[in-house]
Amino acid sequence: MDGYTSVSKAFPGTPIGIIHGKMDGSAKEIEMKRFEKNETRILVATTVIEVGINVPNATVILIESAERFGLSQLHQLRGRVGRGSGQSYCILMTDYRLNKIGKKRMEVMVKTNNGFEIAELDLKLRGPGDLMGVQQSGLLNLKIADLSKDAGILEVARGIAKDIIQQDPNFQQPDHLVIHKEYTRLLASGGDWNRVG
């Protein structure tokens, strides 16, 4: 709401809309329709607009405190403009005192539009988080693998694991007894599944 007030003061006489996550679905829908029809010229929004919004006439997005977002989220937000024929701009507004990771994020956003490259760099910068918990970033404490470097071999290992489960779901074959033993140990200890590396 503070952002809406500031923008209203900066652009007096310009019709301005607002959309945020605490609005009910119908109110959001009304605001989006107004913006699509050019009844509002500026839309002040939270990241609720990150996905599923398609307004071809939107040509400028300004992301405040851009250094606080992950690369994938910034890429999604940037994708809200440039959907029509008009020249579009994404303005990344940051604190002037950027830390090392914030600076790297801004460099990546300026350098590339490739979503795969951005996702890979985002994984390297933020870490994958906790596979079995709620932490969405940070280091994953796998015994051996590094998700950002070992994607190819992890995909091969996953395929082998799926084959083993299909052929011997109870791990009874002699070659699979060690898997059964470790699986049973993990279940009995409450299962630190992040450590399965």
| pLDDT, tens only, 66-108 | 988 888 889 989 988 888 888 999 999 998 888 888 888 899 9
DSSP per position, 85-130: SS--EEEE---SS--HHHHHHHHHHHH---HHHHHHHHHHHH----
pLDDT at residue number 148: 62
Cα separation, 46 vs 21, in Å, equals 7
- The fold of 2-96 is Rossmann fold (3.40.50)
Closest CA to 103 of 115, 113, 91, 95: 95
Task: Give the pLDDT confidence of 174-193 residue by residue, as tens digits.
Answer: 999 998 888 888 778 776 55
Closest by alpha carbon to 143, among 195, 67, 85, 79? 195
The token duo for 123 is 């994984």
- Domains of the chain: which residue ranges? 2-96, 151-195
Q: Which two tokens stand for residue 148?
A: 């950002």
* Contact criterion met (CB below 8 Å) for 72 and 118: yes
Quick: pLDDT tens for 22-74: 999 899 889 999 999 999 999 999 888 876 678 888 899 999 999 888 888 89
pLDDT in tens, 109-161: 999 988 888 888 887 777 655 444 444 444 455 566 666 677 788 788 889 98
Residue 109 CB contacts under 8 Å (≥ 6 apart), including other chains:
66, 71, 74, 75, 78, 90, 92, 118
